[in-house]
Amino acid sequence: DEAKRHLKWIASEAEIVPTRWSRGILARGSAQIEDDASIALELAQHSVAAFDAGGALFEAARSRIVLAEALERSGRSWEAQRVRLTAARTFDAIGATPWRNRAEAFGQAAHAVSNTQVPPPTPRLEGLTPQEREIARCIASGDSNKEVA
């Protein structure tokens, strides 16, 4: 299959020039064609980590879309939505509007497919101060540590 042939070529190039970028591209491409959902999830996580470590925002966000797809395949739609939102925010921040739209469209389609799933239990907020509740709300909505602070 053509995708496997291209990935084999990328793997050979990554052996010659082993960079975070080449490892990230190889992991992302492999995740996209992997039949086993748990392996695809692991590969997508490696891809995100490689691009995050190298400061490649655009490529990390693209890999987050693949990670969200792998999470969906693994039945973890709530996590997928958070990952997709992070990707969309990154695309928006760097001015990659078509990619932001793609990330948002994926989230809408995934939500439509998984709308029969039971949402995770609501955490108990009794006993928290108003400030602690606000921090919990920000974290739950996917805000970064910097945004929460």
Query: What's the confidence (pLDDT) of residue 127?
Result: 63
* Rounded (5°) CA angle 4-50-98: 75
**Which of these, 134, 120, 68, 129, lies nearest to 99 by C-alpha position?**
68
Q: Which residues contact 142 (CB under 8 A, 6 or more apart)?
A: 82, 85, 86, 89
The pTM score is 0.68
The pLDDT score that the predictor gives to residue 49 is: 95
Q: Report pLDDT digits (tens) over 97-140.
A: 998 998 888 666 554 444 445 455 455 556 667 777 777 666 66
Give residue-wise pLDDT tens across range 55-74. Answer: 999 999 999 999 999 999 99
Which amino acid is present at 85?
Answer: L
pLDDT number for residue 40: 94
Q: What is the CA radius of gyration of the chain?
A: 17
Query: Across the chain, which distance is largest between two alpha carbons, in Å?
Result: 57
Q: How many Cα atoms within 13 Å fall on the side-chain side of residue 78?
A: 9
Instruction: Supply the pLDDT for residue 107.
Output: 61
Torsion of CA 130, 131, 135, 138, to 10 degrees: 70
